[in-house]
């Protein structure tokens, strides 16, 4: 079997979006004097799809969620010529071919995200070719079902956050993630507002529900050090991405300081990047996203390294490319789940573009043993609400 064609498309949402309010989610722009629309750079309102065809008529579907027009250009100009004419089962060779030939500029960021999209499509083809779900090629079923946590709870008024938290309890979730709205520039008042929001959510969910706290790189080392002792009484499951992804020593320092597990990796790339994070004991929870980190070929290597450090892997974002790895990996105890709702920050856009993701029932997801590949197709129902570039 040979790869005969690589088709990329960019889908940019032009439908209704819910505008985020001020202090919606702390993020890396917050420390600048002119924040402007600070969440602007962190919205995901576009996606690149990668459809890889074979001479046997199979089509594998991959995707990239970062900088979609650039991802498309990289795949069209650089990566497609490297995989066309090749056997998709030579996936390790193809990954190395893409990685090494783009090494001067591709190792991290959008170069690696583009490689991820191609790699995910190749794994989809392999599953379809042998008539097996991808998780069966990765180690098979390590759990009866995948526990998942509801991930939204952006900072709004406390009553709305409490109602939202209650709605996840009502749906059967026993774990959820909330976002902070304030950071170093907001002073003691912001610090108090951050603590009040955690207290408000804890008040509703009690002590027996896992609560994850997301900073999205909107804090700094000094601020985080001051926050950690104040947060300990809420017993969070983890504190996520407190500082910039590049400050690996900062992560390591924080992780040593506190009983709260520090999590990260959503903005890290390849097994080389994660080896560094793990060797430095910088994170207590690994959170790569398969469609950024180097695809399934890189993610499975990271899983093996993390297992050897006894660090759990709980990928960013849920979604099928991550769920298959989570199902096949004992070191992955649960998955993130973005609740389905109107398009807002863009995490939920996946459901408008793709079909096939399992719906959680009582806080658990399952994957079908009979659906070959990743089990994902394009959802044409909303195509008229996207600007589509071939």
Q: Which is nearer to ligand LVD5IZTE, 48 or 151 (CB)?
A: 151
Least distance from Mg ion to the Cβ atom of residue 151, Å = 8
> Is-contact 133 373, C-beta < 8 A?
yes
Q: For residues 72 and 267, which CB has a smaller minimum distance to ligand LVD5IZTE in the complex?
A: 267
301 vs 316 by CB, closer to ligand LVD5IZTE:
316
Which listed option, Mg ion, ligand LVD5IZTE, none, makes contact with residue 263 (CB within 5 to 8 Å by class)? Answer: none
Residue with smaller CB distance to ligand LVD5IZTE, 319 or 329: 319
In what helix (H) or strand (E) does residue 258 lie, and over which residues does it extend? none
Q: Which residue is nearest to ligand LVD5IZTE (CB)?
A: 216
Cα separation, 212 vs 261, in Å, equals 10
Choose the catalytic residue: 23, 271, 316, 324: 316
> Which residue's CB is nearer to ligand LVD5IZTE, number 307 or number 348?
348
Min. distance of Cβ 5 from ligand LVD5IZTE in angstroms? 33
Which burial class, exposed, middle or buried, applies to 41 when counting CB atoms under 10 A from its CB (0-12, 13-18, 19+)? exposed
Cα gap 330→332, rounded to integer Å: 5
Stretch binding Mg ion (CB under 5 A), from 28-36, 47-55, 103-111, 258-266 = 258-266
Report the distance separating Cα 38 and Cα 29, nearest Å. 6
Binding-site string for Mg ion from residue 237 to residue 256, where x marks contact by CB under 5 A and - marks none: ---x----------------
Work out how close the CB of 2 gets to ligand LVD5IZTE at its nearest, in angstroms, rounded to a whole number. 38
* CB-CB contact of 299 with 273 (8 Å): no
Stretch that binds Mg ion, among 49-57, 60-68, 259-267, 346-354 (CB under 5 A): 259-267
Least gap, CB of 178 to ligand LVD5IZTE (angstroms): 10
Strands (E) in the chain, as ranges, are: 3-13, 46-54, 59-64, 146-151, 175-179, 210-214, 238-240, 262-264, 285-286, 335-337, 354-355, 364-365, 377-378, 386-389
Q: Is the CB of residue 238 less than 8 Å from the CB of residue 212?
A: yes
The answer to whether 375 touches 123, Cβ cutoff 8 Å, is no
* Shortest separation between residue 287's beta carbon and ligand LVD5IZTE, angstroms: 7
**Is 271 labeled as catalytic in the residue annotation?**
no
* DSSP run (H or E) holding 224: helix 221-231
Instruction: List beta partners, residue 210.
Output: 175
| C-beta of 23 vs 136, nearer to ligand LVD5IZTE | 23
For residue 23, give the H/E element and its range: none
Separation of alpha carbons 119 and 299, rounded Å = 11
- Smallest distance from ligand LVD5IZTE to CB 212, Å: 8
- Which parts of this chain interact with ligand LVD5IZTE (CB under 6 A)? 25, 151, 179, 214, 216, 266, 316-317, 336, 345, 347
Residues with active-site annotation? 316
Residues contributing to the site for Mg ion (CB under 5 A): 240, 266
């Amino acid at each position: 079997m040979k790869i005969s064609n690589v088709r990329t498309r960019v889908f940019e949402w032009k439908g209704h979006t819910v505008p985020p309010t001020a202090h919606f989610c702390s993020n890396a722009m917050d420390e600048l004097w002119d924040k402007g629309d600070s969440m602007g750079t962190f919205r995901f309102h576009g996606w690149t799809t990668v459809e890889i065809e074979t001479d046997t008529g199979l089509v594998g579907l991959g995707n990239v969620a970062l900088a979609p027009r650039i991802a498309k250009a990289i795949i069209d100009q650089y990566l497609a010529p490297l995989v066309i004419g090749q056997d998709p089962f030579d996936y390790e060779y193809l990954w190395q071919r893409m990685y090494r030939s783009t090494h001067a500029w591709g190792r991290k960021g959008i170069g690696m995200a583009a490689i991820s999209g191609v790699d995910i499509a190749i794994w989809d083809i392999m599953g379809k070719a042998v008539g097996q779900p991808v998780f069966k090629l990765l180690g098979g079923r390590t759990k009866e079902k995948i526990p998942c946590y509801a991930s939204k709870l952006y900072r709004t008024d406390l009553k709305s956050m409490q109602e939202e938290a209650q709605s996840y309890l009502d749906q059967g979730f026993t774990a959820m993630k909330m976002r902070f709205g304030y950071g170093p520039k907001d002073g003691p008042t912001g610090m108090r507002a951050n603590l009040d929001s955690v207290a408000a959510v804890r008040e509703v969910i009690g002590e027996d529900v896992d609560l994850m706290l997301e900073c999205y790189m909107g804090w700094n080392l000094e601020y985080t050090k001051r926050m950690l002792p104040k947060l300990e009484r809420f017993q969070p499951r983890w504190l996520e991405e407190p500082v910039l992804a590049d400050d690996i020593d900062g992560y390591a320092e924080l992780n040593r300081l506190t009983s709260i597990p520090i999590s990260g990796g959503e903005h890290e790339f390849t097994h080389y990047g994660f080896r560094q994070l793990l060797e430095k004991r910088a994170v207590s929870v690994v959170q790569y996203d398969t469609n950024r980190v180097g695809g399934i070929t890189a993610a499975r290597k990271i899983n093996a390294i993390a297992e050897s450090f006894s660090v759990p892997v709980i990928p960013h974002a849920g979604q099928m490319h991550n769920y298959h790895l989570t199902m096949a990996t004992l070191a992955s105890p649960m998955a993130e789940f973005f609740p389905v709702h109107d398009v807002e920050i863009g995490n939920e856009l996946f459901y408008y573009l793709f079909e096939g993701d399992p719906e959680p029932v009582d806080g658990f997801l399952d994957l079908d043993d009979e659906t070959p590949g990743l089990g994902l197709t394009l959802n044409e129902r909303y195509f008229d609400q996207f600007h589509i570039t071939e």
